[in-house]
Amino acid sequence: MDQALSQLCETVRAASASRTALRIRAGGTKDFYGNTPQGTLLDPRSAAGIVDYEPTELVVTARAGTPLAELEQLLAENGQMLAFEPPHFGAGATIGGCIAGGLAGPRRVSFGPTYGGVRDFVLGAKLINGHGELLSFGGTVMKNVAGYDVARLLAGSMGILGVIVEVSIKVLPRPLSHHTLRFELSEAAAIDRLNEWAGRPLPLSASTWHEGTLYLRLAGASAAVSAARHQLGGDHIDNAEADAFWNSIREQTHPFFAGELPLWRVSVPPTAAPLSIDAPLLIEWNGSLRWLRTDLSAQQVRECAKRAGGHATLFRGGDRSAGVFTPLSPALATIHQRLKAQFDPAGIFNRGRLYADL
């Protein structure tokens, strides 16, 4: 173990012994996300840098404190990418925070063969648990069923199980060609159309609907992209303009995301009908992600999401007293509590960030 890691283990052991809550924070770009963090700051960025990258293996291993931008730059130089297109939300974003937050960007669609969410690309991880032990889960190979898949469990864990210090991620070749189309469609028609397209072998790689316009990104082999383009119709958007648009969705710099109204992230099955809440709306992921700007109560938004077969997270702003994430069923809450107690017996890591009692 090198110095940076042993130092972090030491810090954790001391905090455990004194039951000092630790707030794990790297670039702080996702401070707004999750319940209000508490505790003494622990900056994991002392563990940074690419550990191993072999493009032919489609895997990169990096210390958690590695800047996301640096990692993506390296992949791009080799014609590869993080397929889940994670948002950075600021210059300081690190790969560790990206995994712990578990947020994917436009390319995470619920269809399309090789795409998926953050957890779908996590192959391995190193974690410091509440005992200050350095644990290593998964590995760097594509298929691995030795032991439980704790590495994937860490994606979206909001740091409550320990300090993620290293991750191995599956990467993918960048598509050879991409193309963005625009359609004028109502919300219901857009949802309908997206689901119909998703059932066909088309190279869909992102979709956004907002105020009567549907944007659709195709990506893949040039033959597939141009064939799909001709089949689907719509207006072509110039590539530079399209890249800027998708980046504004990914980084939430699109005007829809501006202003003070609370931002809700409502996850539903892709085929769910338009929600019954009348509020500014932006739809992503083939209909399965619906962003709402509303100051309705958490209960009202959650009930609406539940009726649609999904759940709602208060993403930014608003009254966070009801907890930003949808509460768990009692059976799952029990398993969460037991897992937390096993990984972090002193309850020091990111207390309350995911749920108040964890």
Partner 1 sequence: MDTSRQRGLVAALRTFLPEQAVLYREEDTRPYECDGLTLFRQLPMVVALPETEDQVRRILQLCHERQVPVVPRGAGTGLSGSALPHHAGLLLSLAKFNRILSIDPRARTATVQPGVRNLAISEAAARHRLYYAPDPSSQIACTIGGNVAENSGGVHCLKYGLTVHNVLRVRGLTMEGEPIELGGLAPDAPGLDLLALVIGSEGMLAVVTEVTVRLVPVAQTARCIMASFADVGEAGDAVAALIANGIMPAGLEMLDQAASRLVEPFANAGYDLDAAAVLLCESDGTPEEVAEEIERMSAVLRAARATRIQVSNSESERLRFWAGRKNAFPAAGRASPAYYCMDGTIPRRRLGEVLRAIQALEPKYGLRCPNVFHAGDGNLHPLILFDDADPDSVARAEAFGAEILELCVQMGGTVTGEHGVGVEKLDQMCSQFDRPTLDTFLAVKNAFDPAGLLNPGKVVPTLHRCAEYGRMRVQGGKLSFPDLPRF
Question: Which one, 67 or 96, has the nearer CB to partner 1?
Answer: 96
Query: Tokens in use for 271?
Result: 């085929």
45 or 340, CB closer to partner 1?
340
**Which residue, 69, 57, 59, 2, is CA-closest to 29?**
69
Q: In angstroms, what is the minimal distance from the CB of 69 to partner 1?
A: 22
Whole-number minimum distance, CB 28 to partner 1, in Å?
22
Report d(CA 37, CA 117) in Å as an integer: 24
Instruction: State whether residue 57 is helix, strand or coil.
Output: helix
Closest contact distance (angstroms) between CB of 140 and partner 1 is 7
* DSSP code for 196: H
Q: Which is nearer to partner 1, 44 or 102 (CB)?
A: 102
CB of 47 to partner 1, least distance (A): 18
Q: Please say which residue, 61 or 294, places its beta carbon nearer to partner 1.
A: 61
Shortest distance in whole angstroms from residue 198 CB to partner 1? 6
Give the sheet arrangement for strand 134-138, strand by strand: 50-54, 59-63, 163-170, 122-128, 134-138
When the beta carbons of 18 and 329 are compared against partner 1, the nearer one is 329
Cβ pair 320, 33 in contact under 8 A: no
Provide, rounded to whole angstroms, the least separation between the CB of residue 98 and partner 1: 14
- Whole-angstrom distance, CA of residue 277 vs CA of residue 57: 46
Distance CA 86, CA 97 (A): 11
* Angle at the Cα of 357 from the Cα atoms of 127 and 43, rounded to 5 degrees: 35
Min dist CB 250 to partner 1, Å, is: 16
- Which residue number, 186 or 226, has a Cβ lying nearer to partner 1? 226
CB of 91 to partner 1, least distance (A): 25
In the complex, the smallest distance separating the C-beta of residue 205 from partner 1, rounded to whole angstroms, is 14
**Would you say 67 or 216 has its CB closer to partner 1?**
216
Q: What is the DSSP string of 323-358?
A: -SSPPPPHHHHHHHHHHHHHH-TT--BTTTSSSTT-
Q: Is the alpha carbon torsion for 250, 22, 12, 150 positive or negative?
A: negative
Q: Which residue, 240 or 331, is less far from partner 1 as judged by CB?
A: 331
> Is 306 in contact with 271 (CB distance < 8 Å)?
no
Measure CA 177 to chain center. 24
Contact criterion met (CB below 8 Å) for 353 and 34: yes
Q: How far is CA 66 from CA 18, 60, 95, 147, 340, in A?
A: 29, 12, 6, 27, 26
Nearer to partner 1, 170 or 217 (CB): 170
